[in-house]
Amino acid sequence: MNISGTKSDAYDFKKARLGIIGGSGLYKIENLENIVEFSLTTPYGKPSNKFLIGNLFGLEIVFLARHGENHTLNPSEIPYKANIWAMRFLNVRWLISASAVGSLKETIKPCDIVIPDQFIDRTHQRPLTFFNNGIVAHISMANPFCEILSQILSKEIEKLLTKGKQMHIGGTYLAMEGPAFSTRAESNLYKDWDCSIIGMTNHTEARLAKEAEIAYSSISMVTDYDCWNQNCENVSVEMVIENLQENANFAKSIISAVAKSMSSLRPTSSFHNALKDALVTPKEHVPDQTKSKIELFTNKYWN
């Protein structure tokens, strides 16, 4: 594992941090102070982009642009394992995903914010676990989002809401493969399943984050009605980009508010011990090569 960057030799990697993964439209956070930039090579390859670590209201923030700073990675090409492993290596214990989604409900309007609490996975070619190649762990995904972190998000977002913008607490995020948008038949099917929103990235991150014992939650920012709503214009890149710009600015305000709140309150979460009863394979039967990759997560149970 290689690491390089400004002041990297003197940096304290043991300090617990808040991680932010910025999705479409959110490629940086301007108000970070004392920024340090890191490039990492993990056991799972290179992450999406360089990591930015900075101070915000006394809390250290780790920021990563999910699709790369120039949006060069489509949802299926994102190196999810490398991203999450690196976040854990940088001692991120709380991870917030900011991402663009489509709405599957009339009451959830473009530019609204959703804090989902469930997933349905319709992806086909994603890395879904760190625990393979000689080790088995059965993580519980009954509650895929950290309720404590979601509550903090909801509380801070409520204070920032302006006229015409709503927050929706709870709802099911339908994760599709992408990068193409849904067919109308698919969109109507997911709507009939009572899904609230549709996106392409969060489910994969959430599963891996829980295996890495990182508390994970999502700021899902609505850009469109997908294509089920024939009373509205079909989803297009132009429509998405226009709403992305508004959502990205709001997301930056949310991140600042959450950082200020968490600077004095560092919540513990059941996610921080998610592997406690999940590991099945005895340590002595795990191949050395596999063991070296996942010991970042498992050492506290094996030592």
| pLDDT interval class at 23 (50, 70, 90) | confident
Are the C-beta atoms of residues 39 and 50 closer than 8 Å to each other? yes
Give the burial class of 205: count Cβ atoms within 10 A of its Cβ; 0-12 exposed, 13-18 middle, 19 or more buried: buried
Residue 1 pLDDT exceeds 60: no
Catalogue the active-site residues.
224, 226
pLDDT confidence band for 240 (50 / 70 / 90): low
The span from the CA of 13 to the CA of 42, in Å, is 15
Mean pLDDT of 89-116: 95
Of 126, 106, 131, 215, the residue nearest 176 (C-alpha) = 126
User: What distance in Å separates the CA atoms of residue 174 and residue 102, rounded to the nearest whole number?
Assistant: 10
Q: How far is residue 173 from each of residues 100, 203, 207, 213, measured CA to CA in Å?
A: 11, 8, 13, 21
Per-residue pLDDT, 174: 98
pLDDT of 245 higher than 80: no
Domains of the chain: 17-302 (3.40.50.1580)
Percent of the chain's residues with pLDDT above 90: 72
- Which H helix or E strand runs over 33? strand 33-41
Quickly state the pLDDT bin for 8 (edges 50, 70, 90).
very low
Give the span between the Cα atoms of 98 and 284, in whole angstroms. 39
User: For 48-55, what is the mean pLDDT?
Assistant: 95
Tell me: pLDDT of 53 over 90: yes
DSSP letter, residue 90? T
